[in-house]
Amino acid sequence: MNHAGIFTRLGRCCPAADSWPGHLYPRSSRRVVPRGFSKWGPEPDRSRRSWGDSCLDVLELNPQFITHLQKRFDQEPGFRCCRDQISLMNSAVEKLEGECTYDFIISGLPLNIFPVEQVREIYRVFSRVLKPGGMLSYFEYILVRQLKSPFVSRRERRRLYRVGRVVGSYISKYQVRRQNVFVNVPPAVVRHLRLKPPVATPLDNGRKEQLVNPPVALPSNADLS
């Protein structure tokens, strides 16, 4: 899948757009779910030439926004070209069904505003629906929890601390790349997490066997004499 047709417009509300590393998203037939779609939708000119055989599921909790996007896909030529490959889903991410469904998840969820248990459930859903080797990409504002803590109640500080513990545990275990976006206001960090290891192929297994059991050189006749 060519990701450029999606992420450019997400950049209007998501600082991650200019920071998605292309090598993490190979151009092939993929299934993607961006959680938190911008009001501009995909970029029509690029979408027309970049979708290939990929498909995209868009989750959005706001029904009015889903209606707005549906109208654009129905009426505008630049959107109609990829309409059959996009599913608009009016749903919370916690209600997303399936298992090992998606190659990539692009999330714009503001995790810092949710209760701790809801954050844990969101990560559990991400892990459940991602395929082995799939990638979760999202952004958060730099030091936002630390900056908010002095100005909120003790109960809210406790919630922010616990959210930070949950998010931090996933980052320490699964993050494969991060990028700081200082030109954003406020500055942000883009994180890429691989929640499940890729499935080993027969070729990979063969390489491992060669490393574990390297070929032994047999002695020549001269060595035996």
Find the CATH number of the domain harbouring 8. 3.40.50.150
Rounded Cα–Cα distance for residues 132 and 195 (Å): 8
**Which two tokens mark 82?**
């990829």
Concatenating the DSSP letter of every residue in 203-224 gives HHHHHHHHHHSPPPPPPPHHHH
Rounded Cα–Cα distance for residues 41 and 12 (Å): 10
Number of domains in the chain: 1
- The model's confidence at residue 162, banded by pLDDT at 50, 70 and 90, is very high
Helix (H) or strand (E) holding 168: helix 154-174
pLDDT tens per residue across span 70-106:
999 899 887 888 788 888 888 888 888 888 888 899 9
Residue with structure tokens 């990829």?
Answer: 82
Q: What is the predicted pLDDT for the residue at 208?
A: 54
Q: Record the pTM.
A: 0.70
Rounded Cα–Cα distance for residues 9 and 85 (Å): 17
Residue 41 has pLDDT above 60, yes or no: no
Average pLDDT, the chain: 75
Backbone angles phi, psi at 152, to 5 degrees: -125, 170
As to burial, measured by CB atoms within 10 angstroms (0-12 exposed, 13-18 middle, 19+ buried), residue 24 is middle
Residue with structure tokens 């890729």?
Answer: 198
pLDDT tens per residue across span 165-207:
999 999 999 999 999 999 888 899 999 999 999 887 666 555 5
Q: What is the predicted pLDDT for the residue at 157?
A: 94
The residue segments making up the domain with residue 30 are 4-224
Mean pLDDT of 63-69: 89
